[in-house]
Structure 1
Amino acid sequence: MPSTRISENGADEDDFKRLGLPADLEAKTYAKFDSMVNERRIFYDVTKAELYSHNGFLFEFRIIPILSRKPVLAPNDPGRIKSSGPFINPNPDEVITDIGQSHRLLVNKYCIYRPMLVLPTREFALQEDDLNTTDLTAVWAVMKSFSTPLLMIYNCGVNSGSSQGHKHLQLFAAPQHELWPSRATSEEDVACRIPGVSFKHYVLRIPERATTRDIVRIHERLLALTKEALVKAGDVDGDYNVAMTAEWMAFIPRRTFGPGGPNGCNAAGMLGLVAIKDDEERKRWAELGYTDYLAYLGVPIDA
């Protein structure tokens, strides 16, 4: 079997060619994003971040009023299990590029960061399905095509904070401050007791020159631990969050999306990146107890 060539940044060159990613994907993405923002065809404004530490856990709160207009499907909406929604026939202006035959890279309609992207499957698939090799290959190729450090999140199932039923991953510029999964130190020993994290979590470092096969292997290992934790917690839905940068991958078992709707707290919120609509919602986080609330949304660390 012929060997697969590995590029300097650790990506599989054969995967890049097969997926047909443009060489200038990052520049093309920023140009489209900025153009659509200037023309008010997508919604993004520079916002001030409030950093707040609670019990050793760092939060970043951003007030984003436009989120009140973001469409969110109710947990029992038929659109969660049938071919419908914004990703089936997306606005052509929002399409950056096709990623092979399986995925399509879009600009997000309601943005918190620059850029903010969506990577849905081109054919309908359920948001409650696990990520597969095709999903991971597509997102890893996109991430490694950017010099800007990107953060990927996947909200698997209603209780994970997903807003749509069509399978999609999200990518956006990683924050400048440290996120708690970056404190994991090993590529082999799963970190599951990171100080300050009040809920169950499973994190591995990603090798510096990782290939898509490495990403799939790490994903499968953390997924198995997450599902085991959900079974032990008596959870029947099996929902969870995935978050990944070029340096680490994290899984978070979830029991509920919390009050305020399915987008009340998704993977970004469990990382401490909390987008809220107004000051009242910010006060609500204080009332709910910050890290105590995160433990309620996930599975408490000592459960």
Structure 2
Amino acid sequence: MEESFILSKFNRLQQSGLALYDENQQIIEHNDGGLQFQFCLTSALAKKPNLQTPHSTNDERRDGSDISTTGFEIGEIGNAHLLIANKFCWAKPHFLLLTSDGYRRQYESLNDTDLQAIWSILSTMSTDYLAFFNCGQDGGCSRLHKHMQLIPMPGATFASFLDSDGEISEPEVPFQWFYHRFDTGDVSLQHLTDVYNKLLSQATEVGGGLSENAHASLPGAACPHNMIMTQRWMIVVPRRRAAINKAVAANALGMLGYIAVATKEEMDEWIRTGPTGTLKEFGVSK
């Protein structure tokens, strides 16, 4: 699928008001414990649902799915995935990559087909994109239908050292994370799968497996984690919880210091609780 086609479809959806994006959103920086955080303050998240949000009876969804795709479709990626515009965008553009099978679940780990679909989009874009996956309720997912997300690379995050060729040192994050830099050149599907499985195994070992996972009793459930990937690197972060309260919650990008909030009051609550200590509680403490 051509990049120009993908972007033109998203732009039409955003201009029509179907894909909600706050043109006046702000990035507010905050230093805590030697770590630099960025709060993305955007009204587009004001009505974003969570796992407890009931479905609208007017939503048209695939069998087994809790994500409405009708009107947001951009196109099929391979035989097993669908690319759509995110309805609640805190980046422009902001995509969801869903499994075509609405019964695949967000608490499952990624498989080779998922990774292949992600890579096909990352390698299509001429600009720098980032993909991420919130595995399980404790990993910050808001819907159960298995899906990944893609956005243009945000500004400096905790992961920026992976792009720096040694110019920036690894930050002293308070939680366990596992990462891999890809060698220059083509990355095979087998290599992507091997890297992800290795990082997930390390995360599962320190994360204690499924003992406290909200989805532990469900078939196919993986250790709650976040996966973040670019064409140059992959990170896996084991998770213990997604939120302290309604205001203070983190997905994959939140664990890299890029935190999207709907209101200034939510940001103030994050700052009051202390974002560095909060991420330590959300992840597995070092």
Shared fold (TM-score, shorter chain, > 0.5)? yes
Q: In 2, Cα distance between the equivalents of 1:290 and 1:159?
A: 17
Q: Is the 8 A contact 1:72 1:263 kept in 2?
A: no
SS of alignment partner, residue 283 of structure 1: helix
Counterpart of 1:56, as a letter, is G
Q: In 1, Cα distance between the equivalents of 2:208 and 2:251?
A: 21
Give how far 1:28 is off: 1.0
Counterpart of 1:204, as a letter, is H
Instruction: Give matches, 1:108-257, under 5 Å.
Output: 108-123=86-101, 124-175=103-154, 177-184=155-162, 194-209=170-185, 210-231=187-208, 235-236=212-213, 237=216, 238-257=223-242
Q: In 2, Cα distance between the equivalents of 1:109 and 1:262?
A: 20
Superposed CA RMSD in Å reads: 2.4
- 1:22-78 Cα deviation digits (max 9, x unpaired): 2x2x1112111111111111101232211222223221101112312112112999x
Q: In 2, Cα distance between the equivalents of 1:256 and 1:287?
A: 19
User: What TM-score do you get using the length of structure 1 for normalisation?
Assistant: 0.81
User: What TM-score do you get using the length of structure 2 for normalisation?
Assistant: 0.86
Aligned equivalent of 1:18? none
Give how far 1:263 is off: 8.7
The answer to which of 219-228 and 259-268 deviates more is 259-268
Counterpart of 1:299, as a letter, is V
The answer to which of 193-202 and 107-116 deviates more is 193-202
Could you say if the C-alpha distance between residues 251 and 37 of structure 1 is closer, same or farther in structure 2, counting changes exceeding 3 Å?
A: same
Counterpart of 1:53, as a letter, is N
Could you say if the C-alpha distance between residues 282 and 110 of structure 1 is closer, same or farther in structure 2, counting changes exceeding 3 Å?
A: same
1:295 and 2:276 equivalent?
Answer: no
1:84 and 2:69 equivalent?
Answer: no
1:40 and 2:22 equivalent?
Answer: no
Q: Is the 8 A contact 2:247 2:266 kept in 1?
A: no
- 1:235-289 Cα deviation digits (max 9, x unpaired): 4542111111111111111111113349921101111111111111111111111
- 1:115-174 Cα deviation digits (max 9, x unpaired): 100001000201000000000011101110001111111000000110000100000011
- 1:69-123 Cα deviation digits (max 9, x unpaired): 112112999xxxx813125xx21x3111101210001111010111100001000
Give how far 1:234 is off: 5.9
The answer to which of 233-242 and 51-60 deviates more is 233-242
1:272 and 2:257 equivalent?
Answer: yes
Q: In 1, Cα distance between the equivalents of 2:190 and 2:248?
A: 31
1:103 and 2:84 equivalent?
Answer: no
Q: Is the 8 A contact 2:199 2:235 kept in 1?
A: yes
SS of alignment partner, residue 267 of structure 1: coil
Counterpart of 1:96, as a letter, is I
**How many aligned positions are there?**
264
Instruction: Give matches, 1:14-29, under 5 Å.
Output: 22=1, 24=2, 26-29=3-6
Residue among 256, 277, 281 paired with 2:266: 281
SS of alignment partner, residue 148 of structure 1: coil
Aligned equivalent of 2:60? none
Residue among 49, 60, 84 paired with 1:71: 49
Q: In 2, Cα distance between the equivalents of 1:73 and 1:199?
A: 25
